[in-house]
A = this chain, B = another copy of it.
Amino acid sequence: MKKAKLPQTTVARLPVYLRSLVYLAGRGVQIVSSEELAQLAGSNAAQLRKDLSYLGEFGTRGVGYDVDQLINEISKWLGLLRDRSVVIAGMGRLGGALVGYPGFSQKGFRIVAVFDHDPAKVGRGVDGLIVRDMSELGSIVSQNGGVDIGIIATPASAAQAVADQLVRSGIRGILNFAPITIEVPDEVFVRQVDLSVELQILSYHLQKAERVGVLV
């Protein structure tokens, strides 16, 4: 099977497989079985084979998968063969942490500008970048010949206005850390990361475990 649309769940797992494969490549491993790779990625062998089967037939029966080849194929499918440019809006503590996050640059995500609304922060340097005023977003995106991804690290109150600005500047992918649902046109993709939501989901499972512990 080739170049069809992948299931959402498969798309979400491919980066994890990729991470595991890069780890293996770094240790000099050249061939890996579905069982081994699935274990590393926290998945299972059947799932992994099914996922990879959507991309094509890259394995060798009786042997396994070639690590380098798989890295290349998954990268291709994820659109990672070229670098992606990123801007960050909101230079609070979270924004500040994201600028320096080593995982981004390692994986080809280049942060080209950072923004804040607060005059006290504008003009300061952060990891080799100068914090720009939010009003400059459009012009700086243009100067960079368009930007792929915008990260929103502002308070919830500012997030929708920032999202509107990002969309107007032509950005089509948004990673939103603000705890609010932002509205964007259909052609713009949003990933929402809400840290409190994660803790609340954990809280649900903890409570369930407690109930069992108490009642049973």
Contacts and interface: CB of A to CB of B under 8 A. Distances in A.
Tallying the copies of this chain within the complex gives 2
B203 A173 contact: yes
A207 B78 contact: yes
B203 A98 contact: no
A54 interface: no
Interface residues of A, number: 64
A216 interface: no
Contacts of A86: 199
17 contacts: A14-B200, A15-B194, A15-B196, A16-B197, A19-B179, A42-B192, A94-B101, A107-B199, A148-B202, A148-B203, A149-B206, A173-B202, A173-B206, A175-B195, A175-B199, A189-B205, A193-B193
Interface of A: 5-6, 11-12, 14-16, 18-20, 23, 40-42, 77-80, 84, 86, 92-94, 96-98, 100-101, 103-104, 106-107, 109, 148-149, 172-175, 179-181, 187, 189, 191-210
Nearest to A175: B198
Contacts of A207: 78-79
Contacts of A205: 173, 189
Contacts of A109: 196, 199
Chief secondary structure at chain A's binding surface: helix
A79 B204 contact: yes
Contacts of A107: 196, 199-200
B209 A187 contact: yes
Contact of A97 (B12, B96, B203): B96
Contacts of A181: 16, 20, 40-42
